[in-house]
Amino acid sequence: MRPAIRHLHAVLCCLVAAASLSIARAQERVGTVSDVEGRAEVLHAGASDWGPLAAGDPVLIGDQLRTTADAKLRVALREDSVLTLAPGSQLMVTQQLVAPATVSRFQLLLGTIKAVVTERYSESNARFEVETPTAIAGVRGTSFLASYDAAQEETLVVGLERVTRVRALVDTRGTAEVDLGPGLATRVRRGSRPLAPAPLPENQLRSLQGATELGARGEAGRGANRVDARRPQRPGERAMSTEEQAVDQPLLKPGTPKPPPPPPPVPRGVR
């Protein structure tokens, strides 16, 4: 075989191997659809048409996921983190590695997402990031909400547990990062730095939480949404014991006749 032909053959083999590796990576499964309310769709890498999503469907590297205006979607990742898309949202899975360090990256193109991230990301060199057109939110074993408003070109990030770190997309060195504790929020407009963290009004937080909660299924889901009467619900309110939650009425054993009503009061002056 001539040297030129051998060289061309080697180049072709490298190109085929690279293409095969790229396809394999694009088909790598990173999670599973665990629940869907309404209609959710997926656009696989290299595909031109969106297809329907159902519980149990795989989620692959390069997939774009979207929900219609009245739909919600929950994805369980292979490393046990959970992502929930609110109605009218679109997310792209851009990267996930599980060794030597766990690294996951997603792009929120539109709408709202809730991320519940496992302790695996607390390890050295681990990283979990959600990027929007204006900001990047990164966490280490915590949970947060992120929302992108395309009309305003603005990202809202809300911390739910521990610390969520946010920087502007244009701030590649992270010189103006902000850290969000539970209940604190920041907004990032295109080309601007994150605003100083501030508490998010309760009604707004409740709205975002509701948009990223699917119908409670199983005891865990019901427990998360149920009001516990044993705990005080307002400042100064006394907690109730289990016994205090019962109606304050005498209990009768089955078959026991009801006691007669008390006699009427005796009029005054009558003996």
In 3-state terms, the chain is what percent helix, strand and coil (to 5)? 20, 35, 50
- In angstroms, the CA 54 to CA 34 distance is 8
Contact between 117 and 138 (Cβ < 8 Å): no
Token couple for 15: 């190109």
- Looking only at the bridges linking them, the beta strands covering 127-131 and 103-116 are parallel
Model pLDDT, residue 120? 82
- In angstroms, the CA 141 to CA 59 distance is 21
Position 193 pLDDT exceeds 90: yes
What pLDDT, in 10s, does the model give residues 127-177? 899 999 999 999 877 899 999 999 999 999 999 999 999 999 999 888 999
pTM of the model: 0.70
DSSP alpha helix (H) spans, the chain:
3-26, 202-211, 218-225
Residue-range domain boundaries for the chain? 38-215
37 versus 242: the higher-pLDDT residue is 37
Position 6 pLDDT exceeds 70: no
Residue from 173, 142, 172, 137 nearest 157 by CA: 137
- In angstroms, the CA 183 to CA 56 distance is 33
Residue from 143, 139, 154 nearest 194 by CA: 154
Q: Computed over its alpha carbons, how large is the radius of gyration of the chain? A: 28
Distances (CA, A) of 230 to 233, 234, 242: 9, 12, 7
CATH architecture, domain defined by 38-215: Sandwich (2.60)
Q: Which residues contact 106 (CB under 8 A, 6 or more apart)?
A: 83, 91, 92, 93, 94, 113, 129, 130, 131
Express as a percent the part of the chain with pLDDT over 90. 59
- In angstroms, the CA 186 to CA 193 distance is 10
Model pLDDT, residue 191? 93
pLDDT band at 49 (very low <50, low <70, confident <90, very high): very high
Contact between 55 and 82 (Cβ < 8 Å): no
Distances (CA, A) of 253 to 242, 247, 261: 21, 16, 18
> Residue 72 has what DSSP assignment?
E
Model pLDDT, residue 1? 57
Model pLDDT, residue 240? 37
